[in-house]
Amino acid sequence: MSIGEPRERWCRLKGNLLFLMKNKSSEASEVVILERCWVVEFKSKTDVSIILKFQSGEPDLYIEAASKPDCEAWAVALGEANSEGLRNKIQQLRRLIMEIKEERASEEAHQFLPSSQVDSLGEPQFTSIQRIANEPKLEFSLACKGLVAATRDRKLNTFIQVSVVHPAEHILTRYSSTEIVEGTRDPLFLTGVTFPPEYPIYEETKIKLTVYDVKDKSQDTVRTSVLPDHKEPRADVGRSFLGCATFRVGDLVKSKEQQLTLTLRTSDGGKTVGTIEVNLVKMGEFEDGEMDHITTDAQDQKFLCFLPLKSCSCGFLSATCAHNTENLERMTDRRAKEECALVRECTAPEGLSGKDNLPSLNAVLKNPICKLYRFPTSDNKWMRIREQMAETTLSFHVPKELINLHIKEDMRRNQELKDLGELAPHWDNMRKSVIAHCDQMLSMYQDTLAELGKHTGSSFKSSCSKGEKTLEFIPINLHLQRMHVHSPRLKDALYDVITVGAPAAHFQGFKNGGLRKLLSKFEAERRNTGYQCIYYSPENTAKAKEVLSNINHLQPLISSHADLLLNSASQHSPDSLKNSLKMLSEKTELFVHAFKDQLVRSALLALYTARPGCVLKKPAVPRSSAEESDDLKHQDHSSQIKRQDSIPHHSEYDEEEWDRVWANVGKSLNCVIAMVDRLLEKDNSSKTKEGESDPSAADCKVLHAGGDWYEQLYPLVITLKDCMGEVVTRAKQSMAFVLLQELACGLPQCLMLTLRRDIVFSQALAGLVCGFIIKLHTSLHDQGFLQQLHTVGLLVQYEGLLSTYSEEAGMLEDMAVGISDLQKVMFKVIEAKSEDFLPIITGRREHYVIEVQLPAKMFELLPQEIKEGKLLRMYPVLFNVGINEQQTLAERFGDTTLQENINQENLELLKEYYNLFTEKMPPDCLPHFQEQNDLKGLLENLHQNIQAKRRKNVEIMWLAATICRKLNGVRFTCCKSAKDRTSMSVTLEQCSILRDEHQLHKDFFIRALDCMRSRQTQGALNESDDPETGCLTDNKPTSRHFYPVALLLVSSHLLVVWLILSLALLLAKYQ
């Protein structure tokens, strides 16, 4: 039953009514109408359960049968009794009748394949289509002529539905559809059809083109929701069937003119209703003809626009492929249903060959989909646009790598806290409390990593999962959006935008704001904390973490170089000895410099006072950094170094003891250097005297005394290691004590803020890594960009579309901090040693290094500086402009200070990057295919727009994006879920680029924009089938999908009236 424990009932099925009776002879106690529902049957051998789910949102009906055969029989009966099932069966029979008539009427129909196409095992063999590597198997454009309307006065509003008949299965599969062209009987469709390289299409494959006339546009009845292969959509009263035609792929590919003219006939095959032209498309060739026809009729042909559905997260989406359509949730945020792999544009037109570039890019891209358009230019030529979108495996790979690093870092910190030694009772209790809380957080990180390791299926997180705890580290809807433009007179160009939901901790919520507010509030409270602990500023705690990181990094390196020095001494190799000494000296100097900070000294004193029964010999007077800089004086002598105790004890502690211990490392190194110099000098003098015929006995004694280098260096190297170990022990304990204070002063808020910051940073980093890898692949032959990359760094511009009202204000605060934290990330390009090209992440909080792997052929194209491992800096900037209805409320009645402050702060960062760019780079490094606008003028214009503080000033977005593209930057577009607002922004940007950079015909700007945003061309979902809403309803009005235009046009007076009436109704309700 629907709720509670199962109750025994007798069931009787009559038509589409299910009667439930308490016993076999009693009357029905309940009646269930099997309308718009479906059956879920469990496939296990032992389970005899059936669940009935209803699209109306009613509770599920749970049914158990007596046995497995009964369960299967009831599942079939209930499925057939469903009115939708009956309707689909009727439609399927109608389709089969129509196909049979077409087969009989067509001279090219073959019931059996020729014997030459059958292998020895009896399996049919099909002819593959010849194509260029990594290009789509088949692309074609469509146009109709002479369409016949039902009445003479009617103007047709037509679109074409494309279906595929697979030769092996003989099943009709709906693939895609064009946009709707309104008001003409000779429509020319701008949306083409493309089949990806992996799609199973052959010369024997048949393609069916069905032309529909849209009658009732206001009800948005042109819906082509994705259905399984064996189902047919319900008949819509708002559209009518005009005609259809079928052709074999081989006929189109082998035709001399690469064009087919097909006759459109009615379903019975008797009446001709017009013709349809199919033109084979190749991106490298230009299409001539019909341009005059399009230009002259542009004003007469109206275009019916359907704005993106809530389920569509971008505006340029692939034609829908119904091949493998099991996962409806994938359609929600993938913008269309496409399980098969599609073409990837991996390189710029002058880039590497597909064979060299594709494997490494395939490692990070997954399930791309594409769409083909043709638009006219201002000089009456055609340009072709291929839009592509791809998921990325980095959505899960980067967070998992990051969480693993967090676990290791936290385990190391917990161990360092335990190694602090004996503490006074107050401090010891504090340490126990901190370790207990840290262990809980560590366990949570480990559980999250384990859950992510179990994840299978989609490689991205859909927006409906943004509140799931196990996926809170995963970015929302992270996709690559690419537009490949092929113009007749201009150079081909690629435009990439990374779309992703705003990095934010959705599971934790925004009741108290986001990170920006929470961190500021926490720091203010910590200054005035009531805990009995020592306050260290965020700068000091960051310094403590840096010191600990340097210790863990440098100590093993120094030990390794010391061993290499002894090995060179044992081999009596002067050159190797010099090189080993040089490396040892460099690393030891870095090691000594890492502790040249007042923080270490003051922390040692604080740690000593936390010991049981501490006694100070001298008063603790903090010393200035100027005094400290004169402490270490290197002396060139080889006197014996006296070691100190590892931990200061009670009255034995001397404040200046640390300086002596610290200086001993430098003195030990000087002893090693002096000994090596002496050995090399004696070796040179002995070689000089070997030329004399009769060496003296004294010379022999000198050679004998200096002969064994290893024995003379070994004690000095051991002393150096011991002194270094002494410094490491004390420094680790002192810095761990500083971290103890940081954690103790803010439990548990400190750990929760760290968790929130880790979540937001993980989402932001996954997008950044994706953007960097894509940009590097597409610019491998751009020497100017590569020089800019290692000389200046990479500009990363985020376009935010969040409002400053309610929860989105908290999301914006999270996003601002997460993007700012990306400044701590450095990239390094390395040569891949295996077939695994996924990036490697190393480092700690506050400092990460991302190692991007490239195949050998691609790696050789890099400048020497990058190949030698130079770290590459990132310059992330965020500009946000809220554009939805909530921003209207914020501007009228709320506060937009947050947005203004973020834009102003990031403008300064952008100016800093520009100044650095102009200092180090020549002006010819800017993209050649764009006009060399004055970047300084653009920056000044951006500054003026930010200072103007106008409402919904989208000019800020356009200026920031233009500056980013001209500075070879990476573009990101973000809103709450990377769907509606993101799609509107990206499609507008694309069409603006086509107009400004590629001479898109001015009369076709709106039509191109509508075409890219058209729900019909995306193989759109019915709103009634929108899984994003969580329930299924029928025939909902679609006006709410016209983006926030309706509310944006509401005047302030009407808005105030609406608010007053709402308040009055609310008060009346509770009186």
DSSP string of 703-757, one letter each residue: HHHTS-HHHHHHHHHHHHHHHHHHHHHHHHHHHHHHHHHHHHTTTTHHHHHHHHH
Instruction: Please say whether the beta carbons of 965 and 767 come within 8 A.
Output: no
C-beta atoms surrounding 114 within 10 Å: 8
Tell me the residue ranges of DSSP E strands in 254-381: 259-265, 272-280, 302-304, 365-376
**DSSP-derived secondary structure letter, 274:** E
With H, G, I as helix, E, B as strand and everything else as coil, classify residue 126. Answer: coil
**Dihedrals phi, psi of 80, to nearest 5 degrees:** -75, -30
Pairing assessment for the beta strands 847-854 and 840-844 based on DSSP bridges: antiparallel
With H, G, I as helix, E, B as strand and everything else as coil, classify residue 824. Answer: helix
- Cα–Cα distance for residue pair 1/8, rounded to 1 Å: 9
Residue keyed to tokens 């006995």: 697
747 Rama sector, left if φ>0, alpha if ψ -120 to 50, beta otherwise: beta
**Dihedrals phi, psi of 256, to nearest 5 degrees:** -65, -40
Using alpha carbons only, give the angle 583, 586, 588 rounded to the nearest 5 degrees: 105
Instruction: Please say whether the beta carbons of 585 and 634 come within 8 A.
Output: no
Lookup: tokens for 1062:
């709402």
> Which one, of 63, 97, 96, 57, lies nearest residue 77 by Cα?
63
> Which one, of 966, 788, 970, lies nearest residue 878 by Cα?
970
Report how far Cα 196 is from the mean position of its chain's Cα atoms: 23
Query: In this structure, which long-range contacts are made by residues 682-688, counting pairs with CB atoms below 8 Å and at least 24 apart in sequence?
Result: 682/706, 683/574
With H, G, I as helix, E, B as strand and everything else as coil, classify residue 161. Answer: strand
* Gyration radius of the chain over CA positions: 36
Report which residue type is found at 616: L
**Dihedrals phi, psi of 275, to nearest 5 degrees:** -125, 160
- Cα–Cα distance for residue pair 1024/236, rounded to 1 Å: 14
Burial of 44 (0-12, 13-18, 19+ CB in 10 A): exposed
CB under 8 Å to 622, separation ≥6 — which residues?
Answer: 598, 602
Instruction: Please say whether the beta carbons of 244 and 273 come within 8 A.
Output: no
CA dihedral sign, ordered 215, 216, 220, 224: negative
CB under 8 Å to 319, separation ≥6 — which residues?
Answer: 162, 175, 176, 177, 191, 193, 194, 336, 371, 1017, 1018, 1019
DSSP string of 1005-1037, one letter each residue: HHHHHHHHH-TGGGTPPPGGG-GGGSS--SS--
Is residue 1031 part of the annotated active site? The answer reads: no
- Cα–Cα distance for residue pair 106/244, rounded to 1 Å: 13
Report which residue type is found at 395: S
Pairing assessment for the beta strands 302-304 and 206-214 based on DSSP bridges: unpaired
Instruction: Report the DSSP beta bridge partners of residue 172.
Output: 165
Report how far Cα 42 is from the mean position of its chain's Cα atoms: 35
* From 975, 991, 1011, 1031, active-site residue: 975
Positions marked active-site: 975
